[in-house]
Amino acid sequence: MENINVSSEIIEAIDSYVKIMLSKASFVQTDIAKIIGVGTTSGNKINIKGLAEYDNIKSLGDVIYPNDSIVFVLYPNGQPSQAFILGQLFASPSNIKGGSIDIGDGKFTVNNNGKVSALSGSIGEWNIGTNDLYANRLFADGYLRKCYIKNPSVDSDWVFSVQKEVTQGVNPPSFFSLFRVTANGDIYSNGNITADTISINNLQMRDSTNYYMQLDSNGTLSFWANDVYVGHTTV
């Protein structure tokens, strides 16, 4: 008799079709379960949705699955203790306890309340760091811009900033600030700030080392310059 080789794609297609048809049967309920051990007398021990455990659950082909494997089960309506394992969905992808997920020893977690914690990865075009979120984009002028949000540790840290690289290209040696807000509440801008109304207690004109003008909350105007011009007249 001639051997017939059936491709894995055909087998997977048939398996998926059978699972779909079974899930539509009115007398059968399907679910996802986690393997938590070997059955006491036979089969596997499973936990369905982190809610209840069931022992001695048989499987297709009498397979004993490794702990933490995620499997597809079906059982008569309202009788999960009579479940039957059709196959494995994932091989130990995570630790699932009471509806929570823990992947990578705490690097990505979701708790029972839906709170998500991740130490790396991305959200859309935003990159996740241990203490920051940032997004880079190369502009038409050839300079990379970075939008940066950081969890600060000292007053001078930039909690929010827009930065531009010092040289053109996608791998700049460093960035400089176009706009930034420090943890102490100081705001710095290299561009124009436009608003209908701005309330400021102390207005200063200065660079990183020198003061040039200050208007304080008492209305006192001070200058630190060799010449002060009013119109075209030197004061």
pLDDT over 90 (residue 160) = yes
Give the separation between CA 170 and CA 174, rounded to whole angstroms. 11
Q: What is the pLDDT of residues 66-123, one digit of tens each?
A: 888 888 888 887 788 889 898 887 655 555 555 566 666 677 777 777 787 877 788 8
- For the chain, give the mean pLDDT: 79
Give the separation between CA 186 and CA 99, rounded to whole angstroms. 43
CATH of 8-95, one of 1.10.3470, 2.20.28, 2.40.50, 2.60.120: 2.40.50
Q: Which residues contact 146 (CB under 8 A, 6 or more apart)?
A: 134, 135, 136, 161, 162, 163, 164, 165, 175
Q: What is the pLDDT of residues 172-222, one digit of tens each?
A: 788 888 999 999 988 888 887 777 777 777 777 777 677 777 777 777 877
CB 95 within 8 A of CB 102: yes
State both tokens at 101.
């997920």
Give the separation between CA 234 and CA 227, rounded to whole angstroms. 6
Give the separation between CA 157 and CA 181, rounded to whole angstroms. 8
Locate the domains of the chain by residue range: 8-95, 121-189, 195-235
Whole-number pLDDT of residue 1: 45
pTM listed for this prediction: 0.44
Give the separation between CA 76 and CA 131, rounded to whole angstroms. 49
Q: Which residues contact 150 (CB under 8 A, 6 or more apart)?
A: 131, 132, 157, 158, 159, 160, 161
Q: Mean pLDDT, to the nearest integer, of 23-44?
A: 81
